[in-house]
Structure 1
Amino acid sequence: MLTSDEIERRMPVWTALADLFLDAELDKADYRRIAGSVRTSGYDLAVVECILRDEVLPAFAFNLLEIAGEWAGWHEDDVRTIMTGAIARRPGIGTRIKKALLWRDIERKWRKIADIALSAE
């Protein structure tokens, strides 16, 4: 379980990465904005990838699987509620299957973000 300090440190990263799960196509500016949040987080890229794969993906996968998911963006309060709820639950088999199915697409987006973050260092 994460401490309240760890949750606060992750919030900007969670909020930025949650945009990968919007029901909308991201443009170059979106990728640069997300990469900027990753860069300023102080986390190593490998850690952020784990946060994306193990925390954000299971929490936000539902939005990519719904017929009319969120497309306009996530409010920080919504991200906090979704993430803390997901962390408190143990992932079931359905969550693990969704995570495996969606990782390929999300990983492609993550590679773009990581490349941008690395090129700005």
Structure 2
Amino acid sequence: MSDLYLDTEPSWNRVAEQCARSPFAIPALQRILFDEVHPVVHLNLWSVAGVWDGFDEDWLVSRIVSRRRKPWFRLPWPEDRRYPWRELKPLIIALRQGDEPVR
């Protein structure tokens, strides 16, 4: 999911395919995105010279593991409307239902 935070146009279908093949239910994927991945890499979208070719996997995993805790703050609007989940969720659902996602 970290590819959604690169300084390039995300490969939505590729990320959705990886998520759809995972054993995690939709609510678990949403929690992984917002509680684990987003806090570690979201500032890359604001960086002038952000990472564009992929985050180092060892760095990413170590950062996620080192900060594994429940968030102390939630934004006041529903996460279903937040980027990138509002884009990703319908693609995952379509793939799991056997439909071809349109993007």
TM-score tier by shorter-chain length is 0.7 to 0.9
SS state at 1:23 partner = coil
What code does the residue aligned with 1:20 have? L
Residue 113 (structure 1) aligns with: 88
TM-score, reference length from structure 2: 0.72
Q: 5+ unaligned residues in a row in structure 2: which ranges? A: 98-103
Q: Distance in 2 between matches of 1:45 and 1:18?
A: 17
Q: Distance in 2 between matches of 1:77 and 1:107?
A: 27
What code does the residue aligned with 1:80 have? V
Equivalent residues in 2 for 1:30-109 (5 A)? 30-87=11-68, 96=73, 100=75, 107-109=82-84
What code does the residue aligned with 1:18 have? S
TM-score, reference length from structure 1: 0.63
Q: 5+ unaligned residues in a row in structure 1: which ranges? A: 1-16
Tell me by how many angstroms 1:68 deviates.
Answer: 1.1
**Segments of 4+ moved more than 3 angstroms:** none
- Number of residues of Structure 1 aligned to a counterpart in Structure 2: 94
What code does the residue aligned with 2:48 have? I
